[in-house]
Amino acid sequence: MGIAAPIHLPQWRGRIYGVIGLIFLLALVVVLAVSVGSVKVPFLTTSSILLSRVPLMGTNPGGSGALETIILDIRLPRVILAGVVGAALATAGATYQGLFRNPLADPYLIGVAQGAALGAVIGFLLPTTWQGAGFGLIPLLAFAGALFSTAVVYNLARVGKTLPMTTLILAGVALGALLGSIVSYLIISSGEQMHGIIFWLMGSFSLSQWSEVRIVLPYVLVGAAVILLYARPLNIMQLDEEQAQQLGIDVERLKLILLAAATLITAAAVSFVGTIGFVGIITPHAVRLIWGADHRFLLPLSVLSGAIFLILADLLARTVLAPTEIPIGVITALCGAPFFLYLLRRRKKVIF
Amino acid sequence: MIEIEVHNVSLGYGRQTVLEGLTFRVRPGEMVGLIGPNGCGKSTIIRALSRVIPPRSGEILIDGREITKIPRRELARLVGVVPQMPILPSAFTAFEVVLMGRNPHLGLFQYEGPRELDIAWRAMERTGTQSLAKRRVGELSGGEIQCLLIARVLAQETKAILLDEPTANLDIGRQVEVLDLIRNLCFQSNLAVLAALHDLNLASQYCQRLILINNGRIHAEGTPWEVITPRNIEEVYGAGGCVYTHPVNGLPTVLLNAGDGKMAKTDRVPEGNNR
């Protein structure tokens, strides 16, 4: 009939342009972030060095061997890890907000951050420097702590076969407070490790390597793919659970799948770089303000925006006070909050 | 064409039993009204028939199959629900909400193609909601949302429809429009329709059969003339003799009388049509 198209397409067109635009912006930001640093590399040189490593693209790297090392082995892994972590946190944040139908939800709502923090702090305090599979004890314990605390919260919140979302939030907040107080005590009594621990809690990419990217990326790819697959059911979950069931959604199964996927990518993201705040809660809201609340677009746009945002934040973190690095958690809130408030004021509309 | 059969079912929440010994059926092409006082369990029956709550005992058969054995997505292609006062995501547009009705027809790897958009758009046309399509749901009135939910259930293309107070927020013109639409659908497409209705007169006008619920069980069941009787109304609602005969179509009609906290007293016995 073709009459449906006129009312529907304009809105979609803007969102599709949004996705394409953000992909280009992401590429631009990656090149920019790789170029800027203590050794400034011209934009075009960086581009050609990066492109030379893309299969089937140019084969004529335009820089010296040292430049290639700086770009490909030092800066690029850091930029990529920042992008992956930003994408993971923003996607997880959008998922939690959708699942809990709560604009205040963030990836750390049900105990991931405090669990990871406790694991990491224990890692700092243990008198061993164990190394395995290319990473140390701290990320391993942080990852384990994040999954463990979420599992505890999940089991505390279950009522029979169902998982009431309010109970889940309350259990998460309560267990988070408990773990948080243990972390605080350990920090106070940590002596010379205190600086390292606090730096970890606020997040940093200063030690990023390719080996870390290789570990984190698969988790994030798989988790984000699962979440994107469930975008339409997540839209329907914005109704109450009763209507979602009546529209053919197995609500309890959906909650389990999405919570598991979002928790896994959050845990993987924070275990190496620390509990970076603000990206996960604000990026999805900014996307909603600009492109609307439909998860089929909200989720992919959050992936891209989160990556762009955290790459830029990390760029500022390492350049503003160079050679001193600012913890990235400071930058995300310091620069992200004013931008978000600007969006909020400019578009006064219902977003959630 | 499917039939809904309920055999000796009891329903409840937690330790509390709300309804017991329910036995009834809704046949294809038949519009059945569920009536009864506030809190008698009309919505509970609709929840059970859409598998939101499991039956305590007895069995519910949809198309001859035990309801708990039908996968949810398949059940949502058989039975559609128009809920009462539902939560709708206020940032979504009216069209997006109607399009959600297509969900049970789409697999995880599918998306809404032109066919789905077309079905949703025509459902809005039939319910007179096309002009609302781009509006955000948060801006709509109660009546507009009611019509939107009916559009959604039409887009769902189910074989049975359960409605929970579909006319509660509508003016009388819209009440008639909406119920006419549902009745025509029921007859033309042979749908099984069960509507929980507050308004006894609408129930009497539109339903071939009525089920009157009171005190956790079926108090009366049958044609409007069999169910809406002065005696039943007095037993269930606590007021008597207020049943008249509709002057045009002869259906039983209940009138109110303000002042004494009860419904109108009849001083004249209704004439004719007292089947």
Q: Which of A46, A116, A117, A107 is nearest to A79 (CA)?
A: A46
Beta bridge partners of B31: B193
Nearest chain B residue (CA) to A2: B118
* Nearest beta carbon to residue B121 from set A3, A292, A294: A3
Q: Which domain holds residue A331?
A: 4-346
Distances (CA, A) of B83 to A245, A278, B200: 12, 37, 19
Report for A291-295, A321-325, B114-118, B192-196: range of highest mean pLDDT: B192-196
Distances (CA, A) of A109 to A59, A83, A303: 47, 22, 19
Tell me the pLDDT tens digit for each residue of A186-199: 988 888 888 888 88
User: Is A41 a residue whose pLDDT tops 70?
Assistant: yes
Tell me what pLDDT residue A23 has.
Answer: 93
Determine contact, residues A91/A224, Cβ cutoff 8 Å: yes
Task: Label residue A132 exposed, middle or buried (CB < 10 Å: 0-12, 13-18, 19+).
Answer: exposed
Tell me what pLDDT residue A293 has.
Answer: 85
Task: Specify the DSSP class assigned to residue A190.
Answer: T
Determine contact, residues B54/B212, Cβ cutoff 8 Å: no
Record: contact B100-A235, CB cut-off 8 A? yes
User: Is A234 a residue whose pLDDT tops 70?
Assistant: yes
Q: Is B107 on the interface with A (CB under 8 A)?
A: no
How far apart, in whole angstroms, are the C-alpha atoms of residue B237 and residue B254?
12
Query: Of A98-107, A167-176, B118-127, where does mean pLDDT reach its minimum?
Result: A98-107
Q: Is the dihedral of CA A330, A333, A336, A339 positive or negative?
A: negative
How far apart, in whole angstroms, are the C-alpha atoms of residue B121 and residue B128?
10
Tell me the pLDDT tens digit for each residue of A280-302: 989 999 898 888 888 989 999 99
Predicted TM-score (pTM) of this structure: 0.86
ω into B83 cis (within 30 of 0): no
How far apart, in whole angstroms, are the C-alpha atoms of residue B95 and residue B250?
40
Q: Is B89 on the interface with A (CB under 8 A)?
A: yes
Query: Of A7-11, A137-141, B158-162, where does mean pLDDT reach its minimum?
Result: A7-11
Q: How many domains does chain A have?
A: 1
Q: Is B166 on the interface with A (CB under 8 A)?
A: no
Record: contact B114-A230, CB cut-off 8 A? no
Record: contact B80-A4, CB cut-off 8 A? no
How far apart, in whole angstroms, are the C-alpha atoms of residue A181 and residue A118?
10
Q: How many CB pairs under 8 A join A and B?
A: 101
How far apart, in whole angstroms, are the C-alpha atoms of residue B88 and residue A307?
31
Query: Of A49-58, A291-300, B194-203, where does mean pLDDT reach its minimum?
Result: A49-58
pLDDT, mean over chain A: 86
Tell me what pLDDT residue A168 has.
Answer: 92
Q: Is A4 on the interface with B (CB under 8 A)?
A: yes
B4-228 has CATH 1.25.40.10 classification: no
* Nearest beta carbon to residue B50 from set A233, A246, A293: A246
Tell me what pLDDT residue B48 has.
Answer: 95
Tokens standing for B218? Answer: 């079926």
A166, part of any domain: yes
A97, part of any domain: yes
Tell me what pLDDT residue A132 has.
Answer: 62
User: Is A128 a residue whose pLDDT tops 80?
Assistant: no
* Nearest beta carbon to residue A245 from set B72, B87, B95: B72
Record: contact B77-A351, CB cut-off 8 A? no
User: Is B266 a residue whose pLDDT tops 50?
Assistant: no
A210, part of any domain: yes
Tell me the pLDDT tens digit for each residue of B32-67: 999 999 889 999 999 999 999 999 999 999 999 999
User: Is B273 a residue whose pLDDT tops 60?
Assistant: no
Q: Where are the alpha helices (DSSP H) in chain B?
A: 42-49, 72-78, 94-99, 114-126, 142-156, 172-188, 200-206, 224-227, 230-237
Residue intervals of chain B classified under CATH 3.40.50.300 are 4-228
Nearest chain A residue (CA) to B156: A247
Beta bridge partners of A135: A132
Q: What is the CATH number of the domain that holds A77?
A: 1.10.3470.10
A352, part of any domain: no
How many CA atoms lie within 13 Å of A46's alpha carbon, on the beta-carbon side?
21
How far apart, in whole angstroms, are the C-alpha atoms of residue A62 and residue A45?
6
- Alpha carbon A18 to chain centroid, angstroms: 20
Record: contact B103-A236, CB cut-off 8 A? yes
Q: Is A350 on the interface with B (CB under 8 A)?
A: yes
Listed by number, the residues of chain A in 101-130 with a beta carbon closer than 8 Å to a beta carbon of chain B are 101
Q: How many CB atoms lie within 10 A of CB B219?
A: 17
Listed by number, the residues of chain B in 46-75 with a beta carbon closer than 8 Å to a beta carbon of chain A are 47, 50-52, 72-75
How far apart, in whole angstroms, are the C-alpha atoms of residue B189 and residue B173?
24
Helix (H, G, I), strand (E, B) or coil at B216: coil
Interface test with B, best of A12, A246, A253 (most B CBs within 10 A): A246
- Alpha carbon A244 to chain centroid, angstroms: 28
Confidence bin at A74 (pLDDT 50/70/90): confident
How far apart, in whole angstroms, are the C-alpha atoms of residue B35 and residue B202?
11
Helix (H, G, I), strand (E, B) or coil at B248: coil
Q: Outline where DSSP puts E strands in A24-141.
A: 131-132, 135-136
